[in-house]
Chains A and B, each alone.
Chain A
Amino acid sequence: MNSFVLRGGTIVNPDGNVEADVVVSGGVIDTVGGTTSDLPVVDATGCYISSGFVDLHTHLREPGKEEAETIETGSRAAARGGYTAVVAMPNTDPAHDAVHVVDFVRARGEQVGLCDVLPSGCITIGRLGQQLVPFAALAKAGVHLFTDDGTGVQDPLLMRRALEYAGQLGVVLAQHCEVARLTEGAVMHEGACCSSLGLPGWPALAEELMLHRDIELVRLTGSPMHFLHLSTARSVEMVRQAKLEGLPITAEVTPHHLSLVDELLTSLDTVFKVNPPLRTRTDIEALKGGVLDGTIDAVATDHAPHSDHAKEQPLDAAPPGMLGLETALAVINTSMGLSPRRIAEVLSWNPARIANVADRHGRPVAVGEPANLAVWDTSSEWVVSRDHFASKSRNTPYDGMTLRGRVHHTVFRGELVVKDGEATK
């Protein structure tokens, strides 16, 4: 189906919402509005049509942990979530610290053809925090975001040098803010709940100390930086202040940090173990405030698939992380009630800019634009079932919950890759 019409929807664009049919043909938006007769119709009644979502934070697990996810299954999960581009995190095995690895990830993504797979790069070789990766070679191979995600870059000297060196190349470093020494053995947020359960805590301070350090390094070097999955109230305040001062920083939060509270760990269920950990209601409210007032630029999933047997370990041994791609829209819509415009902003327009793909993603829905689109609503209710995911893993914290808002169709490079919620290939 190379040509079709999305009928009956409301286009969400930076300059406003408008009800109009959208004709997709030859990979681009052919017509907006007007009448069409002979093309196949894809029903968009009651839906919003926006540029496709862009996830800044996806773990695809390939190469190295294909039992949990592959580039194919992760791409399909992304497409079902309305994503037309995902930034693949570098903590694979081998890690994204060499050109041949990122070339492989990108090529495999192209082969699958369900969304743009944009490999990030590590900051240090093997994510070991010791030696810088070949930034220039990786940048030439198309890498724009560099991060040692999973662990923060601990050494302040190394981080300073990385910012100085990489800043010159026009790429962006992204930091996982966590002072490792303060979180050894941590299982959940340090607070009342961890105290009762006798679980080692992740203090908010561990995130905030590193965020503070890196904001100061940005001030010193002038190089831009993106902050991954911020989770505390104080972090939001620090980013707000730094942005007021004009520092070139951006920040993301995850759907789960906007919706789930640390007390869920009283179930002792490892599905709720995640890094950074689920925090308190106060933190959740502050993060929402940051999303509302623009302090937080993007909602990113930190989609982190893990096999059942990995999550069936004791809490201290189970790996942190939860699925996100297929529930992101519904979770933020249910927990926040954002306007369609703000949803498009934090799920598509802003992350497309941060990932440096604004030439083809996060574009206005307008004639001649590349047809990377998401068609979604904010009103239909559905019950999450862990057994109905395109992801290869099942570790969703939302199993059995009723969410509101749903992705109906996804168009990637003019192709209807998701129709009525299901992948077409």
Chain B
Amino acid sequence: MKHLLSIEELTVEQLTALLDLTDHMVEINARPVPKVPALRGRTVASVFFEDSTRTRLSFEMAAKRLSADTMTFNVGTSSVNKGESLRDTIETLSAMGVDAFVVRHKSSGVPHMITEWTDASVINAGDGWHQHPTQALLDCHTVTRSFGTGNDLRGRTVAIVGDIKHSRVARSNIRAFTLLGAEVVLVAPRTLLPPEIIDWPVRTVDALDEVVSDVDVLYLLRMQRERMDAALVPSLGEYSARFGLTRQRATRLKPDALVLHPGPMNRGVEIVVDPRELPGSRILDQVRTGVSARMSVLYTVLSGGSVPPTGGAE
């Protein structure tokens, strides 16, 4: 696997291999000195055309724990603001000797485009509304390891709630959870569903109350505050009343149901109850797993295989 651009490109074997390798990275991260020399001498460049401090830091930590050199291309203070084209930016950085680009962009398809202009590996850290494959990977790892049934999610129901239309997380996760055998239910107002999803392997329901007591995983999406301005919902209050995880709805969750959120949370909107009070909340586990999952991806694309890294702490 040279690049990781989309979950759509992965076979179930590739996905489970990445999840299994993530277990190994979790183990490394639990060591007193959580660092291995697996990617020593390799250079990973974070190129975030759209701000995302947490995802960028998570990738950089992952790269450092594998002993890769890291560099950050800060778009805000860079030549991009002087009118440099995307292609020139990538070709310039490539010429410095980058082995992997970690790319975030507000437009769907940019990581894919970049592969045409560089010999380096490209990892999609989120493109437009399209894909966010490492998020799906860390989410699948969090969920499967919580249930303790290997990589198998057959018989489990995952409800993804909120702004599906504008969500790269949803598009990646629908595919990933489905690959592992789960049934995926989308819960959203019609305005926040993509225009045509009859071919998607999902069912849709109109209100959270219809499914909240039946699901094994409740995946809450971030509700962007500016959605109101585009007439997509009448108000955040009304959204919260129909689709938010309120204290009352939380009491109806199955005892072993998990609650996930890709962060950052809008408290009082999609999540009203304090997640610290939810025994099923895995929100911080997601963040923790994120570093391991990204180590797994970096190692896989840069080593050309999924043989676990050898060698102990430095």
Chain A residues within CB distance 8 Å of chain B: 187, 190-192, 194-201, 203, 268, 270, 309, 312-317
Contact = CB atoms under 8 A, between A and B. Distances in A.
B195 A196 contact: no
Contact of A316 (B106, B167, B200): B106
Given A314-B106, A315-B128, 13 more contacts: A190-B196, A195-B195, A195-B197, A198-B108, A198-B127, A198-B129, A198-B131, A200-B129, A312-B86, A314-B86, A314-B113, A315-B110, A316-B108
A88 B168 CA distance: 41
A203 B195 CA distance: 9
B277 to A, nearest CB: 34
A191 B196 contact: yes
B195 A194 contact: yes
B85 interface: yes
A199 B128 contact: yes
Contacts of B198: 192
B85 A312 contact: yes
Contacts, number: 73
Contacts of A187: 108
Contact of A309 (B8, B85, B110, B166): B85
Interface string B214-230: 00000000000000000
B294 interface: no
B266 interface: no
Contacts of A313: 85-86
B194 interface: yes
Given A198-B131, A268-B108, A316-B107, A191 B195 contact: yes
Nearest to B110: A314
Interface of B: 8, 85-87, 105-110, 112-113, 127-131, 166-168, 171, 194-200
Interface hub of B87, B109, B110, B127 (most chain A Cβ within 10 A): B109
Contacts of B195: 190-191, 194-195, 201, 203
Interface of A is mostly: loop
Contacts of A197: 108-109, 130
A277 B103 CA distance: 27
B196 A315 contact: no
Nearest to B130: A198
A191 B194 CA distance: 9
Contacts of B87: 309, 312
Q: Which 10 A-B pairs have the closest CB atoms?
A: A198-B129, A268-B109, A195-B194, A314-B107, A198-B130, A316-B107, A192-B196, A268-B112, A315-B109, A198-B108
7 contacts: A187-B108, A198-B166, A200-B129, A201-B195, A270-B113, A312-B85, A312-B113
Contacts of B127: 198
B201 to A, nearest CB: 12
Nearest to A190: B195
Given A198-B128, A309-B85, A309-B87, A315 B108 contact: yes
A316 B197 contact: no
Nearest to A192: B196
Nearest to B199: A192
